[in-house]
Amino acid sequence: MRGRRWGTALTLLLTATALPATGPGTATAAAAHRPPPALPLARLFDNRAVSDNSRPGAADFDGAGRSLSAQDLAAAGWSPGSTPTLDGTRLALPRAAPGTPDNVVADGQAVAVRGRGEALTFLVAGTGGAATGTGTVRYRDGSHSGYELTAPDWRSGPMSTKAVALPHINAPGGQLTGAARLYAVTVALRPGREVSSVVLPERAAAPGALHVFAVSVRDSGRGRTGSWAASTAGYRAVGPWTDRTLRLVVHSGAGGPRARIRLANTFAAAPLDIGAASIAVRGAGAAADRAPVPLTFGKGHTGVRVPAGAEAFSDPVAFTVPTGADLLVSIHLPGTVTAAPVHQEAAQLSYLSAAGSGDRTADTGGAAYPETMAFWPFLTGVDVGGGPGSVVALGDSITDGVKSTSGANRRWPDVLARRFQAQHTLPRYGVLNQGISANRIVTDRYPGDGVSTDTGGVSAQHRLERDVLAQPSARTVVIFEGINDVRWGTSADEVAAGLRALARRAHERGLRVVAATVAPCEGYPDCTPAVEARRQAVNAFVRDRAGSVFDATLDFDAVLRDPQRPARLLPAYDSGDHLHPGDTGLTALGESVDLRALVPGRG
């Protein structure tokens, strides 16, 4: 390939080796079976997926002359050679001019990839339908492992799992309106081993072709612990906010001597510009207890552009996060923001500076923040240096803390976090709350694309990678979902199959999997006898699968139910709506957990 090529990440290294010369017709058996040499991905590009709008015929992604628009990619912040972070992995986009080779159709090629981590992420898309194949990861110690890779179709794949969606498709006769998609797909690696190369799947006889644009090893997060987290639940209209600063209040779990934040532009169609950011311990209201510590991105930059669908991590900063303290994370938005990825049910007030007030991230006082909001936009994590890792609570509104006292941090994962930090016998894990109100296991509530008033999130299946597997040093996941599925007609068998799939995927990444039974809801308007029958069937499955599908189970149903009427919440635990526990019930949940059940090798 001549001319401009797509750049490769530092993880893509040239490791090609020549076979020993043995003379014509005298190749040894070992040489005959020697795997192909591994080359940097850009050296293998054999397909043109991106065209300029003025020359749509210069690329042919799908064999029918259709391609991605270079202008649409640029508008989404996906410029050639940039390195968006997707599910915790930095992926280098090809540094290619429109109409030049920019991806490889997978057919057994060996790609030079170097790195040590727990997962490998591919930027992919299928043409002619979803494409699936098996490949091989080679490690520097001479061992290898297999993997299965599925690339959803670039025109019909699910929006809920896409990395980015583009509004047009270029065709020989002109531009077509219709979404094009690219996907970040992650596969497990053998823990503790350094990758040397990856053999792509061979092309199947089926019409679908699997296109690979980038591949990289994901940082495992070792040496970090999650202190606080929230899931992106939807993409809703805001403001508009122009040249304003958000001051977001979050509550730490684990403490540590260094901190970094994670900002997400999930579900977005346009890039997000952050002008500045800071972190502080909260004083009173919007005021810090001392001058906020400025944060930087990308090794020293005060701001960052986050492409559509991607995320950004700040550089670790020398800031001590206390255990169990309110923090202020301030984010300056220099441009105009009309929609944002949000966690809707924060159960916490945060603050917003006046319109046009500029960068107030360095303010110690709170006078510049006259407005409040009850949701968290953009911010999805605070990590600390060191520590033993994290327990992730994957759940719905009960985990999210709906009906708990706002600002009091009485969600059951908050209780669990305080218990871990108060003891010294077991690892003092951070506890990350990835609950989303109205979330379901099997089906998406929010479709995963576009501005919407629905903030129930994509399904637990579709957010597992982002909200659990990509979290820093995740050790254990607690799955407490299912009530919304059975309330909205999903069969118990489908819920059980969803739980099995979540457990299998988490086990593939080495996590301990703990499942909780579904709480009762008699008295809530849609909790009919049919719903109760489905709930009981799901709970029977959970209780029966401890030690097989799940490493342990928690009987949250038994904790919360009324012994006299087991289909309903104990009145003392009921918030009043008969579905959500109040503060007392949430405390009972958090106190009921045997901490040893959450520790790998202990339960």
Q: Are residues 296 and 204 in the same domain?
A: no
Per the document, the length of the chain is: 603
Q: Are residues 469 and 565 in the same domain?
A: yes
pLDDT in tens, 434-483: 999 999 999 999 999 999 999 999 999 999 999 999 998 999 999 999 99
Whether the per-residue pLDDT at 3 is higher than 90: the answer is: no
pLDDT at 13: 27
Per-residue pLDDT, averaged over 31-57, amounts to 87
Mean pLDDT over each residue of the chain, to the nearest integer: 93
Q: Are residues 410 and 546 in the same domain?
A: yes
Lowest mean pLDDT among 26-30, 34-38, 317-321, 507-511: 26-30
Domain that holds residue 554: 388-603
Give the Å distances, CA to CA, from 499 to 159, 171, 482, 515, 541: 22, 42, 9, 8, 10
Q: Both 82 and 204 in a single domain?
A: yes
**Amino acid identity of 182?**
L
Q: CA-to-CA distance for 517 and 522, rounded, in angstroms?
A: 16
In a domain, 229, yes or no: no
Domain tally, the chain = 3
Are 198 and 278 in the same domain?
A: no
In-domain check, residue 596: yes
Q: Which helix (H) or strand (E) holds 182?
A: strand 174-188
Tokens coding 127? 């043409």
Strands 565-569 and 561-562: antiparallel
**What is the distance between the alpha carbons of residues 524 and 527, in angstroms, rounded to a whole number?**
5
pLDDT for position 206: 64
Q: What is the pLDDT of residue 101?
A: 98
| Residue 132 to residue 76: CA distance in whole angstroms | 27
Of the candidates 140, 130, 133, 79, the one whose C-alpha atom is nearest the C-alpha of residue 106 is 133
Please, which residues bridge with residue 224 across strands? 385
Are 423 and 567 within one domain? yes
Q: Does residue 534 carry a pLDDT above 80? A: yes
Q: Residues 363, 305: one domain?
A: yes
**Of the candidates 379, 404, 422, which is a domain's last residue?**
379
Q: What is the pLDDT of residue 205?
A: 65
Whether the pLDDT of residue 543 is over 70: the answer is yes
pLDDT above 90 coverage of the chain, percent: 90
* Residue closest to 541 by CA, chosen among 573, 487, 496, 579: 496
Q: Residue 167 falls within a domain, yes or no? A: yes
Helices (H), 443-528: 460-464, 483-487, 492-508
Query: What pLDDT score was predicted for residue 34?
Result: 62
The alpha carbon torsion through 282, 286, 292, 296 (nearest 10 deg) reads: 110
State residue 32's pLDDT score.
38
- List Cα–Cα distances, 156 to 126, 180, 329, 441, 459, in angstroms: 10, 8, 38, 22, 18
Q: How high is the pLDDT of residue 603?
A: 58
363 shares its domain with 446: no
Q: Does the pLDDT at position 15 exceed 60?
A: no
Say if 228 falls within a structural domain. Answer: no
What is the mean pLDDT of the segment spanning 363-378? 98
Co-location of 418 and 332 in the same domain: no
pLDDT confidence bin for 1, thresholds 50/70/90: very low
Residues 170 and 150 in one domain: yes
pLDDT tens digit sequence for 113-160: 999 999 999 999 999 999 999 999 999 999 999 999 999 999 999 999
Q: 229 and 254 in contact (C-beta within 8 Å)?
A: no
Reference 498, options 511, 509, 484, 510; nearest CA is: 484
Would you say residue 295 lies in a domain? Answer: yes
- Identify whether 15 is part of a domain: no
Are the beta carbons of 318 and 276 closer than 8 angstroms? Answer: no
Q: For residue 20, is it within any domain?
A: no
Q: Where among 185, 218, 251 does a domain terminate? A: 218
Average pLDDT over residues 225-234: 98
**Average pLDDT value for residue range 237-263:** 98
CATH of the domain at 435: 3.40.50.1110
Question: Where residue 30 falls among pLDDT bands split at 50, 70, 90?
Answer: very low
Predicted pLDDT of residue 123? 98
Q: Please determine, for residue 14, whether its predicted confidence score (pLDDT) is greater than 70.
A: no
pLDDT of 549 > 60? The answer is: yes
Query: Mean pLDDT, to the nearest integer, of 528-540?
Result: 98
For residues 213 and 182, what is the distance between their CA atoms, to the nearest angstrom?
9
Q: How far apart are CA 226 and CA 376, in angstroms?
A: 17
Residues 308 and 368 occupy one common structural domain: yes
Whether residue 230 is contained in a domain is answered as: no
Examine the pLDDT at 28 and tell me if it is beyond 50. no
Task: Give which of 351, 343, 336, 359 is closest to 283, Cα–Cα.
Answer: 351
Q: Which amino acid is at 259?
A: A
User: What does DSSP assign to residue 10?
Assistant: T
pLDDT score of 45: 98
418 by Cβ neighbours in 10 Å (0-12 / 13-18 / 19+) ranks as: middle
